[in-house]
Amino acid sequence: MNAVERGSLVRVENLTMRYTGAPKDSAPILRINQWEVGRGEQVVLLGPSGSGKTTLLHLLSGIRAPTAGRIAVDDEDISALPESRRDLWRSRTVGYVFQNYYLFSALTTLENTEMPLMFAGVAAAERRAMALQILERLDLSGKISSHPRQLSAGEKQRAVIARALVNRPRLVLADEPSAHLDAQRRRMLFELLRDLVDQNGSTLIVATHDPELANLFSKRAAMGQFR
Amino acid sequence: MSFIDDIRLASKFLRDRILSTALTILSVASGVALIVWLQGVTGGVREAFVRHATPYNLIVGAPGSPVQLVLSGVFFLDRPVGNISRDVYEELKNDPAVDRAVPIAMGDSFRGHAIVGTTKEFFDPLPGEKFPLRLRAGRLFNGNFEAVIGARVAAETRLEIGAQFRSSHGFSGGEQHAEPMTVVGILEPTGGPRDGAVYCSLESIHEFHRHANEYAESGGTAAPNQMTAVLVRPKDLTALPLLQRQIQMSGRAQAVFPTSALYQLFDTLEIWKRVVQVLCWTVVAVALTSVCITLYSFVEERAADIALLRALGASRTRITRLILIQSLLLSLGGALTGIALGHGLMAVLGGVVQSFTGVDLSWSVMTGWEGMILGALGATGLVFGAWPAWRAYRVAAAEYLA
Ligand SMILES: Nc1ncnc2c1ncn2[C@@H]1O[C@H](COP(=O)(O)OP(=O)(O)OP(=O)(O)O)[C@@H](O)[C@H]1O
Ligand SMILES: [Mg+2]
């Protein structure tokens, strides 16, 4: 194993992504010959609307499979994993902050936060302790019994982040994680997310179309290069 | 314990849609309640009627419907078939094969309770009798117009020892007799039809109708040489068939085994029970369709939730299981609610039946039957949940997430 391989958490090779139904001869949404993200790195994906940011994050989380190519995360070739193994792998390895909130309306903040741990097979008592801990970090201790409809936009966004980080994932994917907030809160949220990821030693990939936010990151990837 | 987690999660999703959940459970429950109720009522009525039928092996009365003879002579429910000659009674009483023959003369009533003319032997317990008659207060009748009343009559009319009342012709509010009757005894309750009658001597009945010749036409017992029925117990049960045949052959009367007449009645009712049963199961099937529709619309409306579950690491089989558990919770919840409802209905109905017939239905908990309903609904719940579960299995997570 060479040094580069040990140092990279995400490796994408010869990837092509074309949505089914698109004409065979049309240009793919994504074409990546070689792309790596190192362990512990924080990378921003910058590109305009429709440039394929969400698509790339879906591929990295294994929710969607590429048309061709190989994606390895933590030396696991996820495109080769059978689907059920990939689901379990995701519950243990990936934290995903979706572009929209996507909290379960039927569940409280605490229950929403515990969810990835449940699918990872963590025992109930431990689940609760871990969820309470991360909610505390995100200043949501007072809202653990609230349902999503009782939360403000900012609280919902933090709850989503809590859920993404609760399983201490090696890879955190965040899709426009502050789209619904004002500029100041957006900046605060970003700082918080970066801090938490840093403390876990996780790797962060954030997607945004906002160059100002992208400037907060030292490592940037323009979506334009993936065409 | 992922299974317990899934049950919790499934019930939270159901609670989130409490209105449709409640309506679905209620519709399953109403069908199940009907089934439980029907089964309980028919089973309970049959059992109770046989239990309380009579300690006598044979009832002898005027030729006609055997069922009517039993319902009138044993349960005091129907009008008498007609009259038989006193000679029939005398012959039975003197028959060496007969242990006991007790006469019954009917035709009058007091506030809907039959007045039964009989002899004191009627009150003597028979060997092995399950519900023997006992006096709670007072004594048996001696002279004319003295009455012993059943426990239910006492409870409903509040007549006490020494109280007087006037009986009427026929069974539903006919002309009142001039001579009042006096209560001399009150019986202990037996839970059977005998609680609902008023007893007096044969002579009292005949005295009443001495001046009422027109009464004979209404089917009641009027003349001293007539009576309604004779209850017979043989010395030896093996003599019973011969005894019955002799009476039947005589042409003057019919002899009926009370329990077999009851079974004959129940067999006729059984066909109707089957019909109603099919209807009940149809109601349940329709209700289960609503389980299917509820879950299907859940999967359609909350596809994003299902996609999110997938994104958070739930496998397709886990999603399928979550939907099937919801289906089970709805169908079993409906079954349990229905069983409870059915028993509630039976309790209400038990009171009604007892007040009309005097038969104490005292519902047993029919565990075998309830277990079968739960099993059947669990299985069909899974079947009806299969389609929405399949839809949930097929949800393409990425399409719903941005
Ligand atoms: N399920 C799909 N089927 C077909 N085409 C799709 C599908 N999802 C996305 N696309 C197309 O793929 C391209 C990239 O979409 P994607 O959602 O990845 O963009 P994005 O960079 O996340 O945009 P935004 O900033 O608006 O969220 C777009 O042209 C979109 O129309
Ligand atoms: Mg997007």
Contact B309, B319 (CB under 8 A): yes
Average of pLDDT values for A54-60? 94
- Average pLDDT on A159-175 reads 94
Mean pLDDT of A199-218: 90
Q: CB burial class (10 A; 0-12, 13-18, 19+) of residue B340?
A: middle
Nearest residue to B310 (alpha-carbon basis) of A30, A57, A115: A115
CA distance B54 to B59: 10
What per-residue confidence (pLDDT) applies to A1? Answer: 37
The average confidence (pLDDT) of chain A is 89
Burial of B72 from C-beta contacts in 10 A (0-12 / 13-18 / 19+): buried
The residue of chain B nearest to residue A85, with distances taken between CA atoms, is B315
Q: Which tops the pLDDT comparison, A56 or A154? A: A56
Residues near ligand 1 (Cβ within 6 A): A 19, 29, 47, 49-55, 99, 209; B 399
- Ligand 1, atom 11, lies closest to the CA of A50
Residues A11-15 have a mean pLDDT of 94
Q: How far is B42 from chain A (nearest CA, A)?
A: 44
Top-confidence residue, B203 or B389: B389
Question: What DSSP designation does A225 have?
Answer: G
Ligand sitting nearest the alpha carbon of A45? 1
B interface test, pick of A117, A118, A171 with most B CB neighbours within 10 Å? A118
Which pLDDT band, with edges at 50, 70 and 90, does B167 fall under? confident
Number of residues written out for chain A: 227
Tell me the pLDDT tens digit for each residue of B208-266: 776 555 444 444 555 667 889 999 999 888 888 999 998 888 888 999 998 888 888 88
- Neighbour-count burial for B157-189, b at 16+ CB within 10 Å, e otherwise: bebeeebebebbbebeebeebeeebbbbbbbeb
Least confident segment among A208-212, B218-222, B233-237, B330-334: B218-222
CA angle B201, B202, B206 (to 5 degrees): 120
pLDDT over 70 for what percent of chain B?
92
- Within 8 A of B308 by CB-CB distance, chain A residues are 98, 102, 104
Q: Residue B293: what pLDDT?
A: 93
CA of B4: which chain A residue's CA is closest? A124
Residue B109 Cα to ligand 2 midpoint, Å, equals 88
Least reliable range by pLDDT among A18-32, A74-88, B117-131, B345-359: B345-359
More confident residue, B392 or B350: B392
Across B100-128, average pLDDT: 90
Q: Could you tell me how many CB contacts below 8 A there are between chain A and chain B?
A: 69
Q: What is the share, in percent, of chain B residues with pLDDT greater than 90?
A: 43
pLDDT of residue A3: 37
Ligand 1: which residue has its CA nearest to atom 7? A19
- Judged by CB atoms closer than 8 Å, whether chains meet at B313 and A163 is answered as no
Q: Which of B15, B316, B402 sits opposite A106 (nearest CB)?
A: B15
B1 or B11: which carries more pLDDT confidence?
B11
- Backbone torsions φ then ψ of B191, nearest 5 degrees: 80, 5
Which residue of chain B comes nearest to A52, CA vs CA?
B402
Is the pLDDT score of A41 beyond 90?
yes
CA distance A2 to chain B (A): 31
For residue B221, the model assigns a pLDDT of: 52
Please tell me the distance from the alpha carbon of residue B308 to that of residue A106, in angstroms, as a whole number.
13
The answer to whether residue B63 scores a pLDDT higher than 70 is yes
Interface test with chain B among A87, A101, A109, A122, by most B beta carbons within 10 Å: A87
**Is pLDDT of A142 > 50?**
yes
Query: What's the rounded mean pLDDT across residues B165-175?
Result: 79
Assigned token pair, A213: 């936010």
Question: For residues B317 and B3, is the Cβ–Cβ distance under 8 A?
Answer: no
A178-182, B41-45, B303-307, B354-358: least confidently modelled range: B354-358
Q: How far apart are CA B11 and CA A184, in angstroms?
A: 40
ipTM of this complex? 0.89
Contact partners, residue A202, CB within 8 Å, separation at least 6: A40, A95, A165, A168, A169, A170, A171, A172
- Stronger pLDDT, A223 or B345, i.e. the higher one: A223
